[in-house]
Structure 1
Amino acid sequence: MTRAQWAILIWLERQPGISQKELSEILEVEPITVARLIDRLEARGMVERRPDPRDRRIWRLHLLPPARDVLLEIDDHRADMTRIVTEGIDENSIEIMTEALMRMKATLTQEAHTSRRGPDPIVTETREAV
């Protein structure tokens, strides 16, 4: 099982019934990438696509019981990795680093969204005027 498949299982546990499109936005990948990963997870009996009751074009994603064992394994790996990488670092420092990393990720995500849309015309006009 790939790390990308793990990420999908984790998000489906957090948000049961999320659509493929919503999941692709969260994971910051193309919808076709999520569709292919879901195909593989569905073939393994871990995920199920269900039609949205209000819009038949939308597929809602749900975990199936076999995914639970994998999620427990993922939790164990995450706990082990957290213990290893934070060994010898006090709780306060871990909190500060975590907050800083989350801010950096948010900034990068925002930058990626801005880059996809193209330059902000207001900012561009302001820069050109200077």
Structure 2
Amino acid sequence: MNSTDPRSNFAYPLMDVTRLLRKHFDRRAEPLGLTRAQWRAIKIVHRQPGISQKALAELLEMEPIPVGRVIDRLQQAGFVERRPDPNDRRVWRLHTLPRAHGVLDDMEVIAAGLRDDTLTGIADAELIACLGVLERMKQNLLALEDAASKNTNEP
């Protein structure tokens, strides 16, 4: 494929947009005093009360030990708490505390402002078409993932 073929270069703008979204969100969220891993952890724990540290690590795409440190800091700051799993004493379940709710509200305001700024000049029809294409790409990649996991699980 040559460089004028849109199929050969589609991933670069996706990665650039993702990187720039993270950069601008981090800049706007800096006054909250949280790292990206911390605010992502708070949001996931809020959406999935009782999630295990292991499952959180998977969703954050981090190793368990660094996630444990993130949770340690969030617990010390009063954002989350660990509760023992009633069925497995090796597992800790994570829950947000009331202090996290204010930060979540602040993060949502920041995210809404960034979404508005990012989508300036983009018509709803363009956005809908873009989201449809991205969803199809996601489904294609998930199908590859399923096929790969089936191949590794075969005897």
Whether TM exceeds 0.5 here: the answer is: yes
- Alpha-carbon distance in structure 2 between the residues aligned to 1:102 and 1:31: 29
- Tell me if 1:25 matches 2:53: no
What is the 5 A alignment of 1:1-130? 1-102=34-135, 104=137, 107=141
Instruction: Output the amino acid matched with 1:60.
Output: R
- Alpha-carbon distance in structure 2 between the residues aligned to 1:10 and 1:3: 11
For residue 51 of structure 2, give the secondary structure of its aligned residue in structure 1. coil
Deviates more, 1:28-37 or 1:70-79: 28-37
Aligned residues: 117
Q: Find runs of 4+ consecutive structure 1 residues off by over 6 angstroms.
A: none
Shift of 1:94: 1.5
- Alpha-carbon distance in structure 1 between the residues aligned to 2:38 and 2:59: 14
Deviations 1:36-85 (A, max 9, x none): 11011001000000000000100000000000110000000000000000
Listed as ranges, the gaps of 5+ residues in structure 2 are 1-33
Q: TM (normalized to structure 2)?
A: 0.66
Map of 2:26 onto structure 1: none
Deviates more, 1:69-78 or 1:92-101: 92-101
Computed over aligned residues only, the root mean square deviation of the Cα atoms, in angstroms, reads 2.5
CA gap of 1:70–1:23, structure 2 versus 1, over 3 A, is: same
Shift of 1:104: 4.8
Identity of aligned residues (%): 48
Instruction: Output the amino acid matched with 1:75.
Output: E
Q: TM (normalized to structure 1)?
A: 0.77
Shift of 1:103: 5.2
Shift of 1:89: 0.7
